[in-house]
Structure 1
Amino acid sequence: MRSVSFAGFAQALSCVVILAATSPAQAEPGHGIAMYGKPALPPDFVSLPYANPDAPKGGRIVFGEAGGFDSLNPYILKGSAPWGLGLHTVETLMARSIDEPFTLYGLLAESVETDEARNWVEFTLRPEARFSDGSPVTVEDVMWSYETLGTLGHPRYRNTWGKIAKMEQTGERSVRFTFNAEDRELALLMGMRPILKKAQWEGKDFAESSLEVPLGSGPYTVSGFEPGRFITFRRDPDYWGANLGFNRGLHNFDEIRYDYYGDGDVTFQAFTAGETSTFRESSASKWQSAYDFPGVKSGEVIKAEIPNQRPSGITGLVMNTRNPAFDDWRVREAMIQAFNFDFVNQSINGGSEPRITSYFSNSPLGMGDGPATGKVAELLAPFAADLPPGTIEGYALPQGDKDRAVNRKSLRKATALFEEAGWTVQDGVMRNAEGTPFTFEILLQSGATQTEQVVDIYVQALKALGIVPTVTAVDNAQYKERTNTYVFDMAWYTRSLSLSPGNEQMLYWGASGITEPGTRNWMGMNSPAAEAMIAAMVGSRGQDDFVAATQALDRILTAGRYVIPVWYSRVSRLAYDRHLHYPEWIPLYGDWPGFQPETWWYED
Structure 2
Amino acid sequence: MYGEPALPPDFVSLPYANPDAPKGGRIVLGENGGFDSLNPFIEKGKAPPQVSLYTVETLMGRSLDEPFSLYGLLAESISTDSDRSHVEFTLREGARFADGSPVTPEDVIWSFETLGTKGAPRYRGSWAKVAKSEITGPRSVKFTFNTADRELPLILGLRPVLKKAQWEGKDFTASTLEAPIGSGPYVVDKFEPGRFVSFRKNPDWWGKDLPFNRGLHNLDEIRMEYFGIDTAAFESFKAGLLSSYRETNPAKWATNFDFPAVQAGDVVKAEIPHGRPSGIEGLAFNTRKPLFADWRVREALIHAFNFELVNQTLNGGVLPRITSYFSNSTLGMVPGQPAEGRVRELLDPFNAELLPGALEGYILPASDGSEANRKNLRVATRLLEEAGWTVQDGVLKNAAGEPFSFEILLTQGQDDMIGAASIYVEALKRLGISARISTVDSAQYVERTNSYNFDMTHYIRSLSLSPGNEQMNYWGARGVTEPGSRNWPGINSPAAEAMIAVMLSTQDPAEFTAAVQALDRVLITGRYVIPMWYSPVARLAHRSNLRYPEKLPVYGDWPGFQPEVWWEEP
Same fold (TM over 0.5): yes
C-alpha offsets along residues 202-255 of structure 1, whole Å, 9 cap, x if unaligned? Answer: 000001001111100000111111111111011111110000000000000011
8 A contact 1:405–1:457 mirrored in 2: no
C-alpha separation in 2, matches of 1:271 and 1:47? 32
* Structure 1 match to 2:89: 123
8 A contact 1:123–1:174 mirrored in 2: yes
CA deviation after TM superposition for structure 1 residue 400, in Å: 1.4
C-alpha offsets along residues 30-73 of structure 1, whole Å, 9 cap, x if unaligned? Answer: xxxxx111111111110000000000001100011111100010
* Structure 1 match to 2:388: 422
Q: Which amino acid aligns with 2:549?
A: P
C-alpha separation in 2, matches of 1:436 and 1:293? 53
* Structure 1 match to 2:362: 395
CA deviation after TM superposition for structure 1 residue 406, in Å: 2.6
Instruction: Give runs of aligned pairs for residues 95-494 of structure 1, distance below 5 A.
Output: 95-369=61-335, 370-402=337-369, 404-494=370-460
Q: Which structure 2 residue ranges, 5 or more long, are not aligned?
A: none
* Structure 2 match to 1:30: none
C-alpha separation in 2, matches of 1:68 and 1:265? 15
8 A contact 2:425–2:436 mirrored in 1: no
C-alpha separation in 1, matches of 2:136 and 2:172? 27
Most deviating of 293-302 and 442-451: 293-302
* Structure 1 match to 2:567: 601
Aligned match for 2:517, one of 538, 548, 551: 551
Give SS of 2:409's match. Answer: strand
C-alpha separation in 2, matches of 1:571 and 1:376? 30
8 A contact 2:284–2:456 mirrored in 1: yes
* Structure 2 match to 1:7: none
C-alpha separation in 1, matches of 2:290 and 2:255? 43
Q: Which amino acid aligns with 1:493?
A: Y
C-alpha separation in 2, matches of 1:110 and 1:304? 37
8 A contact 1:340–1:406 mirrored in 2: no
Q: Which amino acid aligns with 1:93?
A: L
C-alpha separation in 1, matches of 2:371 and 2:466? 38
C-alpha offsets along residues 343-368 of structure 1, whole Å, 9 cap, x if unaligned? Answer: 11111111111100000000000011
Q: Which amino acid aligns with 2:464?
A: S
C-alpha separation in 1, matches of 2:475 and 2:542? 36
Q: Which amino acid aligns with 1:401?
A: D
Q: Which amino acid aligns with 2:175?
A: S
8 A contact 1:68–1:229 mirrored in 2: yes
Superposed CA RMSD: 0.7
CA deviation after TM superposition for structure 1 residue 418, in Å: 0.1
C-alpha separation in 2, matches of 1:507 and 1:235? 33
Give SS of 1:246's match. Answer: helix
Give SS of 1:274's match. Answer: coil
Question: Please, what TM-score do these two structures have when normalized by structure 2?
Answer: 0.99
Give SS of 1:112's match. Answer: strand
CA deviation after TM superposition for structure 1 residue 543, in Å: 1.2
Question: Please, what TM-score do these two structures have when normalized by structure 1?
Answer: 0.94
C-alpha separation in 2, matches of 1:174 and 1:337? 56
CA deviation after TM superposition for structure 1 residue 535, in Å: 0.2
C-alpha separation in 1, matches of 2:411 and 2:368? 28
C-alpha offsets along residues 448-507 of structure 1, whole Å, 9 cap, x if unaligned? Answer: 101111011111111110112111000000011100110000000000000010110000
Give SS of 1:196's match. Answer: coil
Aligned match for 1:64, one of 17, 23, 30: 30
C-alpha separation in 1, matches of 2:180 and 2:324? 39
8 A contact 1:94–1:191 mirrored in 2: yes
C-alpha separation in 2, matches of 1:446 and 1:320? 20
* Structure 2 match to 1:84: 50
C-alpha separation in 1, matches of 2:241 and 2:367? 41
Most deviating of 72-81 and 386-395: 386-395
* Structure 1 match to 2:492: 526
C-alpha separation in 2, matches of 1:517 and 1:282? 30
Q: Which amino acid aligns with 1:118?
A: R
C-alpha separation in 2, matches of 1:436 and 1:290? 46
CA deviation after TM superposition for structure 1 residue 86, in Å: 1.0
